[in-house]
Amino acid sequence: MRPQIIPFLAGVSLRRMAVALVILLSSAEFAGAQTTEAKEGGQPLLLFPAPVPQGTFWTSLGFTAIAPPVEITEALQVRWPAFDYHTIYGLRNNFTLDGRASVQVLQNRFAAGPRWVSKVGPVALSLGYDLAYWFGYLQVEGFDSKAHGWQGTPNVTLGYDLGRGIAASVKGELMMDYSMSSSQGDLEVSSNSKAATGYALTMSLEQPFYHEHYLTLSFRAMYTKFFWQTWSLYSTFDRYLFFPEIAVGFIL
More confident: 179 or 237 = 179
Find all residues with CB under 8 Å of 7, minimum gap 6, and list them: 78, 79, 80, 81
What number of H helices and E strands is found in the chain? 2, 11
pTM: predicted TM-score of the whole model, two decimal places: 0.79
> What pLDDT is attached to residue 222?
96
Q: How far is CA 171 from the centre of its chain?
A: 11
> What pLDDT is attached to residue 6?
32
Cross-strand partners of 61: 85, 250
> What pLDDT is attached to residue 73?
67
More confident: 160 or 165 = 160
Tell which CATH classification among 3.40.50, 2.40.128, 1.10.10, 2.60.40 matches the domain 14-251: 2.40.128
CA distance 83 to 101: 8
Closest CA to 159 of 26, 29, 63, 43: 43
Query: pLDDT tens digit string along 52-64?
Result: 999 999 999 999 9
- pLDDT of 36 above 70: no
The predicted model gives 212-230 an average pLDDT of 90
Residues of the chain with pLDDT > 90: what percent?
Answer: 50
- pLDDT of 188 above 80: no
Buried b / exposed e along 108-146 (16+ C-beta atoms within 10 A): bbebebebbbebeeeebbbebbbebbbbbebeeeeeebb
- pLDDT of 245 above 60: yes
Answer yes or no: are the C-beta atoms of 161 and 147 closer than 8 Å: no
Residues found in the chain: 252
The predicted model gives 174-192 an average pLDDT of 81
229 phi, psi to nearest 5 deg = -70, -10
The predicted model gives 222-228 an average pLDDT of 91
The predicted model gives 115-133 an average pLDDT of 96
The predicted model gives 195-215 an average pLDDT of 89
* Domain boundaries along the sequence of the chain: 14-251
55 phi, psi to nearest 5 deg = 80, 5
> What pLDDT is attached to residue 183?
79
Query: Which helix or strand (DSSP H or E) is residue 25 part of?
Result: helix 14-34
Mean pLDDT of the chain: 81
Query: pLDDT tens digit string along 1-34?
Result: 343 333 333 334 455 545 544 444 444 444 443 3
